Amino acid sequence: MLAWVLRLRRLTAAVTLSSIAACAEDEMADLKAYVAEVKERQKVSVEPLPEIKAAVPYLFKSDELHDPFKPFEKSGEAETSTADNGIRPDTSRPKELLEGYELDVLKMVGTVKMFGNLWALVLAADGTIHRVRVGNHMGLNFGRITRITEAAVELVEIVPDAQGGWLERNATMSLAETAGDKK
């Protein structure tokens, strides 16, 4: 058995030595050739970096500038008095359902005559149809319906002006063309 172990050790040593001898071959020949090729290439000159100009410091003088948290003072010449024109929305009345929508998303889809009055049928953005008459309100700008015809609803909106007051603005909602009406 001892002879068997010695033979196994010799065999292992021979295999190891042959492996080391195989590794001793020049496997780095391709790397050496590439390095030699790179060294033989023509050298390229690199342009120098552009000269960096020194930054000119800016002296901030806050005393000369307007405070952004204070309103501008009006000069005597340009000052215009904003007289109260009496126009203002009635904020004490309860809001109507159609006052929760922009006028752009509301569409007039028809009219109906009931009790001697002409009512307009208005389609809201949520898909419900509402019946409105003269005096009802709709739109986000306190719009009050002033006239209803077979083809349109006319209303007056109260919008803020640039001087902090209110202005009246006329608006019209025309009868919407439905898919069945197109020719």
Tokens 């949520």 correspond to what residue? 126
The values of phi and psi at residue 139, to 5°, are 90, 160
Selected from 1.10.8.590, 2.60.130.10, 3.40.50.300, 2.30.30.830, the CATH number assigned to the domain covering 97-174 reads 2.30.30.830
The mean pLDDT value for 87-101 works out to 90
Q: Per residue in 16-34, pLDDT tens?
A: 777 766 665 667 888 888 9
Per the model's pLDDT, the better-predicted residue between 107 and 73 turns out to be 107
Beta carbons of 138 and 99 less than 8 angstroms apart = yes
- Please state, in angstroms and rounded to a whole number, the distance separating the CA atoms of residues 73 and 70: 9
- Spans of all domains in the chain: 97-174
pLDDT beyond 50 at 83: yes
Interior/surface letters 144-182, b for 16+ CB within 10 angstroms, e for the rest: bbeebeeeebebbbbeeeeeeebeeeebebebeeeeeee
pLDDT beyond 60 at 75: no
pTM for the model: 0.52
